[in-house]
Amino acid sequence: MSYQYLSDTRGKVTGVFIPIQEWNEIKEMLDFQSDPKNQLKFDLLEAFEQMKLMKAGKLAKPKLKDFINEIQEL
């Protein structure tokens, strides 16, 4: 997708314009995630997506030590 960045008179980026289809997808995801009943579903969907990326070599696999540390922090 192509993004357009908005900036002030000094050139500082102040916002971003994204295509409406992408915005609708983001909004739907945020609405879904904000419902406590859907949090587990969202977390599982995100985990499955991460697994797909790892299998495709597009995301580094976490080390077991880091995974255990993350769980202990919960």
Domain count, the chain: 1
What pLDDT band is residue 20 in, cutting at 50, 70 and 90? very high
Q: Looking at residue 74, what is its pLDDT?
A: 77
Parallel/antiparallel/unpaired status of strands 4-7 and 13-17 = antiparallel
Extract the tokens encoding 48: 């499955």
What pLDDT band is residue 34 in, cutting at 50, 70 and 90? confident
Among 32, 33, 34, 1, residue whose Cα is nearest residue 18: 1
Q: Give the mean pLDDT of the chain.
A: 88
Q: Give, rounded to a whole angstrom, the gap between the first and last alpha carbons of the chain.
A: 35
Distance of alpha carbon 70 from the chain centroid: 18
* Domain of residue 59, residue span: 4-73
- Each residue of 37-65: pLDDT tens digit? 777 887 888 899 999 999 999 999 989 99
Which residues have CB under 8 Å from 1's CB, separation 6+? 18, 19, 22
